[in-house]
């Protein structure tokens, strides 16, 4: 059977679940949020990575269902962490296709209502690449999202074809600097210069910055010196199931 058929069933019978990767406030060293990342435990194939099934979901118009499922489950699970003061917010990835075609505002309203998560504690991550072919309806939809108090983060920033004017047009709170810059920051002066430029630009626009993919203490030190606000990466924690994430957050409260 094809993976797309399997994925449709997987969403119904709970084979897909959100794992969570913490985001760290680099001035306090404390977790400030968690990003929900989809994991699919296929009964025959084992763990199927999102790099494989997210594109399949996008091709087969299943991504709205995947995003809705993730949004509902992650909001329900993370609402108690927010209520307990363990984190400020939950971040959920939103596929470009879902923004363009889907009724994602209704999905978000449902997730907020069912979970009791305050809108300001929900952040939607939108990949920068989306805005290459953004249709005219995306921007007003994102404005309506922001009007609800939900925040928006521009994911994978710096590697797409984005036009810097989107920093003004999209009601953003946060810019996530792509992992590829963090990866070679120790050896590549250009990557340091790019991160430096992005953090300065973000500051000028009043935006928060997150560096992705921090794996070493040295990378962390450089990123701190470049005045990045938050960090995420294997140095702090890998994505983990809800139980493990809760234990991690409790141990660092």
Binding site for ligand G (CB under 6 A): 21, 37-38, 49-51, 54, 63, 66-67, 70, 93, 95, 155-156, 179, 212-215, 232-234, 239
Q: Which tokens in the block code for residue 108?
A: 């978000």
Nearer to Na ion, 36 or 242 (CB): 36
Nearer to ligand G, 21 or 84 (CB): 21
Min dist. Cβ of residue 236 to Mn ion (A): 15
Task: Report d(CA 122, CA 150) in Å as an integer.
Answer: 5
Helix (H) or strand (E) holding 223: helix 217-225
Nearer to ligand G, 24 or 214 (CB): 214
What, of Mn ion, Na ion, ligand G, none, does residue 213 touch, CB below 5 to 8 Å by kind? ligand G
Task: Report d(CA 51, CA 3) in Å as an integer.
Answer: 13
Environment class of residue 98 by beta-carbon count within 10 Å: exposed (0-12), middle (13-18) or buried (19+)? buried
Min dist. Cβ of residue 196 to ligand G (A): 20
Min dist. Cβ of residue 135 to ligand G (A): 18
148-167 footprint of Na ion as x/- string (CB under 5 A): -------x------------
Task: Report d(CA 45, CA 205) in Å as an integer.
Answer: 46
CA 119 from centre of chain:
16
Candidate residues 125, 128, 178, 229; the one interacting with Na ion per rule CB under 5 A: 125
> Side-chain half-sphere of 129: how many Cα atoms within 13 Å?
8
Binding flag, residue 246, Mn ion (CB under 5 A): no
Site for Mn ion in 185-244 (CB under 5 A): none
Task: Report d(CA 175, CA 191) in Å as an integer.
Answer: 16
What, of Mn ion, ligand G, Na ion, none, does residue 246 touch, CB below 5 to 8 Å by kind? none
Binding flag, residue 155, Mn ion (CB under 5 A): yes
Binding flag, residue 93, Na ion (CB under 5 A): yes
CA 27 from centre of chain:
21
Min dist. Cβ of residue 156 to ligand G (A): 5
Nearer to ligand G, 107 or 156 (CB): 156
Scanning 39-115, the segments in alpha helix (DSSP H) are: 50-59, 63-83, 96-101, 104-115
CB of 157 within 8 A of CB of 177?
Answer: yes
The residue of the chain with the least Cβ separation from Na ion equals: 125
**Residue numbers of the site for Mn ion (CB under 5 A)?**
155-156
**Residue numbers of the site for Na ion (CB under 5 A)?**
93, 125, 155
């Amino acid at each position: 059977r094809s993976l797309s058929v399997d994925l449709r069933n997987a969403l119904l019978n709970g084979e897909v679940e959100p794992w969570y990767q913490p985001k760290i406030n680099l001035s306090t060293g404390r977790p400030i949020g968690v990003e929900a990342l989809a994991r699919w435990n296929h009964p025959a194939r084992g763990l199927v990575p999102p790099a494989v099934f997210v594109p399949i979901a996008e091709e087969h118009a299943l991504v709205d269902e995947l995003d809705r499922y993730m949004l509902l489950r992650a909001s329900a699970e993370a609402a108690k962490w927010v209520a307990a003061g363990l984190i400020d917010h939950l971040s959920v990835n939103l596929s470009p296709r879902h923004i363009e075609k889907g009724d994602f505002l209704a999905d978000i309203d449902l997730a907020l209502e069912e979970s009791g998560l305050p809108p300001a504690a929900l952040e939607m991550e939108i990949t920068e690449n989306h805005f290459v072919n953004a249709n005219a309806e995306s921007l007003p939809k994102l404005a309506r999202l922001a009007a609800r108090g939900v925040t928006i983060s521009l994911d994978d920033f710096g590697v797409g074809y984005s036009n810097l004017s989107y920093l003004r047009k999209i009601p953003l709170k946060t810019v996530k600097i792509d992992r590829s810059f963090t990866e070679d920051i120790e050896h590549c002066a250009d990557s340091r210069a790019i991160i430096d430029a992005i953090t300065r630009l973000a500051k000028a626009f009043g935006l928060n910055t997150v560096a992705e993919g921090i794996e070493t203490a040295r990378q962390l030190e450089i990123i701190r010196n470049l005045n990045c606000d938050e960090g995420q990466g294997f140095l702090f924690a890998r994505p983990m199931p809800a139980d493990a994430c809760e234990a991690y957050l409790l141990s660092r409260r």
